[in-house]
Homo-oligomer: A and B are copies of this chain.
Amino acid sequence: MYNNAATAVAVLGASGYVGRELLGLLDGHPDLALAFATSESESQVEGHQALPLAQAESRWDEARLVFSCLPHGVSAPVVARAAGAGLRVVDLSADLRLSERAVYGLTEVYRDALPDADLVANPGCYPTASVLSVLPFARAGVIDASRPVIIDAASGVSGAGRNPRRDLLFGEVAENFRAYSVGNEHRHLPEITRQISAVAGPVDVVFTPHLLPVHRGILATIHVPLVRELTRQEAEGLLLDAYEGEACIRVMQGQVPTLKDVMHRNRLALGVVPVKHVSHPMITVFGALDKLVKGAAGQAVQNMNVMLGFPETRGLLC
């Protein structure tokens, strides 16, 4: 995939599910060359040589931009050193998502800040699905902030990584379904609440994730309290207006999204329906995405494209 004008990028932590997905996307991107990839556990990843992270430090000058897929807690000091060496950074860990130093890489929301950003915190998969589903209603001023936004989300296993854990064995996950981080204790909650409250003002969010026996997808079912009734057409209209021209967001009309609508694509699919038989107005919004693509590696490439001035969807199937 050599290219005379290719921009050199590096990938840290390439052997997890997200890192592999990212390498695959970069291989298909016509304007990039891979400077190096790192892995502590494997010497070959997706056909590329991988070197230990320690060796990357002497090679910062070979790349212009680095993606970090390192684990939470590990990533922050490494990307600080890479940034110090002059590289632009897209950090896919959670380390910088609540920091003021990094641009929050929800592309459709913070697009204008990306071209000048040296440090971008790529959002979590749950926040990407949740925040983009709710924001159009927050912006339209129709959310009743006196009642909670209730998010029940279900996700495949890929987010939990490839480390051996008994609770992620096939025998435990297949033919099963379970909630986790119950009682509003998931680490993605502050990220979700912060983004929604930035527009809607203070609002309670209840977030309950579940583990699905699938590999890649997320579906968020989001009950949004309203200050007034909306017809289905009106609610869909708010989504359509908010995301008009967005290549990576598909608003479905008269139906709700499924995981099949988004698998292997850098796409968030949205649907909305008013809730009948209740005393106070409410809608249910559904947001589906592939957690490895729009929920992680794909959005990272989308952010990089904007940062580097490439067409936003270059190398991406939306």
Interface residue ranges, A against B (CB under 8 Å): 17, 24, 28, 147-148, 150, 152, 154, 157-158, 162-166, 168-179, 182-185, 189, 193, 204-206, 208, 210, 212-217, 219, 221, 223, 232, 256-260, 263-264, 273-280, 282, 284, 286, 317
B212, A213: Cβ atoms under 8 Å? yes
Nearest chain B residue, comparing its CB with the CB of A277: B184
B210, A154: Cβ atoms under 8 Å? yes
- Rounded to whole angstroms, the CA-CA distance of A272 and B248 in the bound complex is 38
- Rounded to whole angstroms, the CA-CA distance of A166 and B105 in the bound complex is 31
What's the nearest-Cβ distance from chain B to residue A274, in Å? Answer: 6
B214, A184: Cβ atoms under 8 Å? no
- Rounded to whole angstroms, the CA-CA distance of A169 and B161 in the bound complex is 10
Per CB-CB distance, the 3 closest pairs between chain A and chain B, nearest first, are A164-B164, A178-B258, A170-B173
B213, A171: Cβ atoms under 8 Å? no
Q: Chain B residues near A208 (CB, 8 Å)? A: 221, 284
Contact pick for A170, options B150, B174, B279, CB 8 Å = B174
Beyond A148-B279, A183-B284, 5 extra complex contacts between A and B, CB < 8 Å: A24-B317, A176-B217, A177-B258, A179-B221, A212-B213
